Chains A and B, each alone.
Chain A
Amino acid sequence: MEELDTDETGFSVEQSDDSHGDPVVRLNGELDISSAAAFREAMEELVGKQPGRLVFDLSQLTFMDSSGIAVMVYVANNVKKVELLHASSIVRRVVEATGLSDILRLEPS
């Protein structure tokens, strides 16, 4: 399991593989302007491996601002199938309010 610790606000990323061998990315903490650049780099590396399917576990993601959403949209635009699991209502509402419900399809919790 790889880990990416981005900053003092405590955002981190854990990456593993699920039973199908597809990457699972778990986001922990607050994804905001101070952690978005590092997160984007990590995701660019992952997208570069051209996975057919990518799973985000958002159960531990407590906050996401527009710069974080931008990274998620980038991943969604570049990976064929992206699954977004266990989003909290705070995250869910941010995605809806930004008009991205059709692009970032959050699985019902």
Chain B
Amino acid sequence: MSIAASETPGTVEAAPNWQPNSLSILVFLAGLVLTGALAWIAISIHDHNEDRLLNLELKQAASVVTAAVPSIQIPLTSAAELAAATNGSPQQFQKYMTAFVGQPGPFVGASLWRLGNGTATLVAGVGPVSEPAASPGTTAFLTKARNASTFAIVNMLNRPLPTIAYAAAAPSADTPWVVYAERQLPKSRHLKVTQNSAFSQLNYALYLGLSTKPTNLLEASSNEFPLQGHLATASVPFGDSAITVVATPNQELGGSLLARLPWIIVVAGVLLSLSAAVLADYLVRRRRQAEWLASENRRMYSEQRSIAEVLQHALLPQALPEVVGVETAIRYVAGSEGTDVGGDWYDVIPLDDDHFIFVLGDVSGRGVEAATIMARLHFAIRAYAIQGDAPAEILGKLGRFLDIDQDQSFATILCALVDVPRHSVTLVNAGHPPLLLLNGKTGDFVRTTVFPPVGVDRTTVYEATDFVVPGEATIVAFTDGLIERRDESIDTGLERLRTLTTEGPLGLDDLLTKILTESSSAEYHDDTAILAVRWKN
């Protein structure tokens, strides 16, 4: 018997509850990493760009400072030239320098000196601010200025009125005339930066000399001092000293978009990562759901099959009743085509010590419907048999239980009454493949009238064929699954079956095994039932 109920389907998850799955977390994290990388790149680009722009701005600012140099140098050297040309005329000097002293400047006072014999002598002065005392320090400074190719500078920023002193001689050598001038810086050295100037985008500080110590501060654009943040420094020559510009941007030099870009990337990246994670989660859930549905379908499918199987299992006798004088055996192979079981059945019904009825039937179609029809016929035959009806009567009455117009099926049935001691068989065939009779080394199909199957026509009158079998004969009934093949006539299948059963004596079980393995077709997987009866003597 191979109608074991199908295995219960594997454990089926209930509809999945929501919980973040590892794929969506992974997608989210990958998105964050990518976002971080992009933001870092944007920040780097931004910083690099700001650096570049700051340096450009600084250069521009430095060039402005450089441009201021002549406004100091030209008056001084021109006055020195004039002194040389006029042999140090105080009137000429005063007349010339007046234009540069006081308002508008640049100087608060200027004086003309003559260097000679290691001392400096004041020749003339302009403006309210006192000239330096004629001292060795003054002489040294003026001498330094005379020997330099440009003007000389003294840092006097620590005075109450922060001051820078300048001195310059005429470029032509060997002149004793040196011009001295002082410039006062405003007390507040916080200068407003005008828009569109070279400094408009910068906070900056100007220092005299190369050092940026506070005492060197010339002016700054901000009260917040010293400057904080991203600093850039440049120095430009100023006389025999230098002016150092320190600057930091007071706004985004590269524009606000570039500055916001990292944040835009972060926000967009996080949103995209979230969306991707949600999408991944959705897809994973859809797949889980599909898998769940598929397994649910499989379960229902196999359940459906197993309903029919259980039904069939319940109906078909698991063991044939013992009948004195004969050996009986059955084989049942469920078809593998599709999921439905077929409507094949068999039965052995003992009547008394000498008689029994055997039945082999096949309801056309498959599934629960076929199994249900089979059940009706199975029990109806049993009931009629036990009340003493002969096979022909039984089949004639079965039309009450099956109508092809309603049930869409008919049933082919072999039904036989066997008298064991007499070796006689009363056989009725309703559309069924013939009974095979094996007698030692010869095998033949029992010739009977083949009546229409049950369910086709209720008016059919079935008639039995009686025959006697020799001692130790075997009769084999089977359903068409055993012989039916698509590419050949059933006569060919019948002949194949007949010949393979005549090759020497076999035990009944071995015989059925041989018939099943050698006759049934691999290509056509209909259900197959075989029932064999062998006389013991």
Contacts and interface: CB of A to CB of B under 8 A. Distances in A.
Interface of A: 30, 33-34, 36, 40, 62-63, 65-67, 69-71, 73-74, 77-78, 89-90, 93-94, 96-100, 102-103
Given A70-B365, A73-B456, A89-B489, 6 more contacts: A40-B408, A66-B453, A74-B405, A77-B456, A99-B429, A99-B451
A93 B484 CA distance: 11
Contacts of A77: 404-405, 456-457
Contact of B404 (A74, A89, A94, A98): A74
A77 B408 CA distance: 12
Contact of A99 (B366, B430, B526): B430
Interface string B406-424: 0011101000000000000
Interface of A is mostly: helix
Contacts of A30: 486
Given A34-B338, A77-B404, A100 B489 contact: no
A70 B405 contact: no
Contact of B453 (A89, A94, A98, A102): A98
A89 B484 CA distance: 14
B338 A97 contact: no
A40 B407 CA distance: 12
Contacts, number: 83
Contact of A63 (B337, B409, B486): B486
Contacts of A98: 412, 431, 450, 452-453
B433 interface: yes
B488 interface: yes
A67 B451 contact: no
A36 to B, nearest CB: 7
Interface string B342-383: 000000000000000000001011100000000000000000
A62 B487 CA distance: 8
B349 to A, nearest CB: 23
| Residue with the greatest number of chain A CB neighbours at <10 A, chosen from B405, B408, B488, B491 | B408
A70 B362 CA distance: 12
B148 to A, nearest CB: 107
21 contacts: A33-B365, A33-B366, A34-B338, A63-B486, A65-B480, A66-B362, A66-B364, A70-B364, A73-B404, A74-B405, A93-B489, A96-B450, A97-B433, A97-B450, A98-B431, A98-B450, A98-B452, A99-B431, A100-B431, A103-B456, A103-B457
Interface in B378-415: 404-405, 408-410, 412
Given A99-B429, A99-B452, A99-B453, A70 B486 contact: no
B431 A65 contact: no
A32 to B, nearest CB: 8
B296 to A, nearest CB: 24
B33 interface: no
B26 to A, nearest CB: 41
B445 to A, nearest CB: 11
**6 tightest CB-CB pairs across the interface, nearest first?**
A99-B450, A66-B364, A99-B431, A98-B431, A63-B486, A70-B364
A40 B412 CA distance: 19
Given A65-B484, A70-B404, A74-B405, A100 B365 contact: no
B514 to A, nearest CB: 23
A63 B487 CA distance: 7
Contact of A74 (B362, B408, B429, B449): B408
A34 B453 CA distance: 21
A62 B452 contact: no
B163 to A, nearest CB: 107
A103 B404 CA distance: 13
A46 B404 CA distance: 17
B1 interface: no
A103 B452 CA distance: 8
B464 to A, nearest CB: 14
A56 B408 CA distance: 19
A70 B451 CA distance: 15
B258 to A, nearest CB: 64
A66 B412 CA distance: 9
A63 B456 CA distance: 21
Given A65-B484, A89-B489, A103-B457, A70 B450 contact: no
B527 to A, nearest CB: 10
Contact of A93 (B362, B410, B457, B491): B491
Contacts of B290: none
Contacts of A40: 408
B134 interface: no
Contacts of A63: 486-487
Contacts of A70: 364-365, 404, 408-410
Contacts of A33: 337-338, 365-366, 526
A63 B491 CA distance: 14
